[in-house]
Structure 1
Amino acid sequence: MPSLSDFLFIGATALACTAAVTVVALGLLWLLRRRSLGAQLAVVVGAVIVAIAVSTLAVSAQMYFSEHDLKVLVWVLGASALLGLGAAWLLARVARRSVARLGERVRRIGRGDVVAYEPAGWKEFDELAGELADTSQRLAAARAEVERLDASRRQLVAWVSHDLRTPLTGIRVMAEALEEGVAEDPDAYVRQIRVQVDAVNRMVDGLFELSKIHSGTLTLRKEPIVLLDLLSDAAADMVPLATERGIRISLAGVADQMILADPRELGRVVANLLANSIRHAPEDSEIVVSTHRTADDRIVVSVLDRGPGVASKDLGRMFELGWRGDDARTLADQVTASPGAGLGLAIVRGIVEAHGGRVTAVRVDEGFRLDVSLPTRT
């Protein structure tokens, strides 16, 4: 039975040998700090094996009395160390290859490629490979969305430029006629200039509203609103425009429901929806504004017109910035935010989502319906 002094001697010897090997290993790691992971892994594994072998030999040299036994131990430790170092080298090569494959996938993702999941054989590397595959797919989807939005913005700029050029050209022509004194009815020219200036102002206001929505600076001043009053006021404001086409606006099933919202912004939403319906509804038809409460305590405001609406494939796109269902761009269409330029419904979606709601479009037997779903309390 070894004595306490023997245990202390063994511990001190092992500690000293391990410390010496550790210092050497740390030095090698510092020299190889810019080398591959495989080289550093080989140093760590090799240091463990060498520390064990050196400690065992140092203790055995002091305690073994048989030179033969000591030689046998040296050969056993040497063979074990060589095998261990060989296994460490193979492990380092496998790790280096796995890292190299992951690095190549990262470079492919950087070039815009979509990479598939390929297991590397190591749990941690497999998880990383899966994350890279998911990330590449999300990046590809994000790039496609950015490209789509960029194309929409370019198209919007072209349309808005056209819509602005039309009234501005008219204003300039009429102003020149007034300046040269050739206008047959100066008062009518002035009234027409005012109409076109108001149309330009509405378009600029719409662009400013969109800029606030997209930049996240839209500030809502919410207060309790009687929905019947808001819908009635919005419908009354649209009556002159609707009358020009023989369209009637009616309220159906609208009770004294209360909702917490920004009255100005929500009024803009209803006005834009009505303007869109007036623009597309058949002449001498009816637009019905209704509300109902859902099972999850949300208020849905619906605007139904008798028009054909848009194609089913475009239902999800009609609220996108710059989207238009047709090529008609006339000054008469510029009711609130130049629907012809694709601003009105984009503004509707931005305001509704800022309220925590959602807006949808659906084709029904009676015609085409736009639904705005809003929380009663936000």
Structure 2
Amino acid sequence: MSLEVLPAIAVAAVVAGAVGLGGALIVLAVARRRPALAAALGPLVVIAALGSGVAASIQAMVLPKSAVSAVLWLLVAAVPSALVVGLVLAVRTQRLGADRAAAVAARERDAAAESRRREVVAWISHDLRAPLASVRALAEAAEDGVAAPADAIRGILAENARMSGMVDDLLAYSRLHAPGVRLQLEPVDVGDIVSDVLATAAPIAQAAGVRVDGAVVGDAAAVADPRELSRAVENLVLNGIRHTPRGRAVRADVARDGAEAVVVSVSDGCGGIPEADLGHVFEPGWRGTSARTPGQGGGTGTGLSIVQRVAELHGGACSVENVDGGCRFDLRVPGAGAQAPRSSSRRATGS
């Protein structure tokens, strides 16, 4: 190598290094927000640094114009290749980022689901102690002659029913939150489902001194899983009965919301829920105010979370708001067809 070209090489190295460093800083800044764009710019920074170095070295050397043109055209010819490489890197980076985000989200969902399942199991284990203790106490009382056998048997059967309900809640919660769960969707009349639920809940409401009533306005045809939808409506109605004082009423009204959805509105007389607690009522086992403490009356604290999950699996939603004297839960499911609501109405019997 001739000593005469050393100054030109030094100049080229300095200029190329400065341009490359500046480009690298820009790429790093862009990578914080848009990694794919940064990957596409990387090869172009290399070409820019190389071109700047060559241009600087040309200024320091005396070269024929033809040689200078050839070098510049070579650099220009390399730009498309750099763009292709940059685009490939950008696509790959974007895919890797999306895969990583999906993996992180999946791990977070699995962790949250596992945490919820463990909490539900813990709640069930804790709440089962009370009826088990009652069964044992009743059996011992009957054995010792303290209680009449008939009374003990009635109490044991009541506690058994209570435990069965708790286990059913646990199984329903686990099934609805299992990976790959699918509903058996079919055309249903939501009004008929609500009427059946009210008829079933009427004896429970009568024993609690609460009236149950409702109405179906317009077309109540929907596409839903009748078993799961019935469970959700039943949970809302029983929840309302449990928290409504004697002498007041629980209503379950059905109406169509445009052409896309059917809404079941369950109103109770609980006196309302504090605004700060409204966002927590669908959390499994959430312990809020005494007016809405899960587990009272033999529940597990999963009833409203099951309602929300059923709504989500149907592609709908469930919401709650305070109304005069109580609160109202709105369970929304997809309607069948796109026909407009009819003006006719019918009563949803049950009391």
Would the alpha carbon gap of residues 208 and 95 (structure 1) be closer, same or farther in structure 2, given more than 3 Å must change?
farther
User: What is the SS of the residue equivalent to 1:199?
Assistant: helix
Percentage of matched positions with identical amino acids: 33
CA deviation map 1:247-288 (0-9, x unaligned): 111112445622221111111001100011111122201111
Aligned residue in 2 for 1:184: 147
Residue of 1, 11, 15 corresponding to 1:87: 15
User: What is the SS of the residue equivalent to 1:342?
Assistant: coil
User: What is the SS of the residue equivalent to 2:279?
Assistant: coil
Alpha-carbon contact 2:219-2:255 (below 8 Å) kept = no
Structure 2 CA distance for aligned equivalents of residues 118 and 226 of structure 1: 50
Structure 2 CA distance for aligned equivalents of residues 195 and 149 of structure 1: 32
Alpha-carbon contact 1:163-1:329 (below 8 Å) kept = no
Residue of 307, 332, 335 corresponding to 1:348: 307
TM-score normalised to structure 1 length: 0.62
For 1:293, the aligned partner's letter is R
For 2:241, the aligned partner's letter is I
Would the alpha carbon gap of residues 372 and 193 (structure 1) be closer, same or farther in structure 2, given more than 3 Å must change?
same
Would the alpha carbon gap of residues 90 and 330 (structure 1) be closer, same or farther in structure 2, given more than 3 Å must change?
closer
Structure 1 CA distance for aligned equivalents of residues 253 and 18 of structure 2: 74
Q: How does 1:143-158 map to 2 (within 5 A)?
A: 156-158=120-122
User: What is the SS of the residue equivalent to 1:316?
Assistant: helix
Question: 1:358 and 2:317 equivalent?
Answer: yes
User: What is the SS of the residue equivalent to 1:201?
Assistant: helix
Alpha-carbon contact 1:183-1:189 (below 8 Å) kept = no
Aligned residue in 1 for 2:53: none
Q: How does 1:315-330 map to 2 (within 5 A)?
A: 315-327=278-290
Structure 1 CA distance for aligned equivalents of residues 116 and 174 of structure 2: 15
Would the alpha carbon gap of residues 296 and 256 (structure 1) be closer, same or farther in structure 2, given more than 3 Å must change?
closer
Alpha-carbon contact 2:285-2:294 (below 8 Å) kept = no
Residue of 250, 255, 277 corresponding to 2:213: 250
Residue of 250, 259, 263 corresponding to 2:226: 263
Listed as ranges, the gaps of 5+ residues in structure 2 are 43-89, 95-100, 338-351
Alpha-carbon contact 1:98-1:125 (below 8 Å) kept = no
TM-score normalised to structure 2 length: 0.66
CA deviation map 1:311-370 (0-9, x unaligned): 112222211122133358798723xxx1xx320000111111111110000112353100
For 2:252, the aligned partner's letter is V
Residue of 162, 165, 171 corresponding to 2:129: 165
Q: How does 1:84-163 map to 2 (within 5 A)?
A: 84-90=12-18, 156-163=120-127
Aligned residue in 1 for 2:332: 373
Aligned residue in 2 for 1:62: none
Alpha-carbon contact 1:321-1:346 (below 8 Å) kept = yes
Tell me how far 1:146 sits from its aligned partner.
9.2
Aligned residue in 2 for 1:311: 274
Alpha-carbon contact 1:152-1:322 (below 8 Å) kept = no
Q: How does 1:291-306 map to 2 (within 5 A)?
A: 291-306=254-269
Q: Name the count of aligned residue pairs.
A: 285
Instruction: From the CA coordinates, give the structure whose radius of gyration is larger.
Output: 1
Aligned residue in 2 for 1:45: none
Would the alpha carbon gap of residues 365 and 329 (structure 1) be closer, same or farther in structure 2, given more than 3 Å must change?
closer
Aligned residue in 1 for 2:348: none
Which fold has the larger relative contact order, with Cα–Cα distance below 8 Å and residues 6 or more apart in sequence? 2
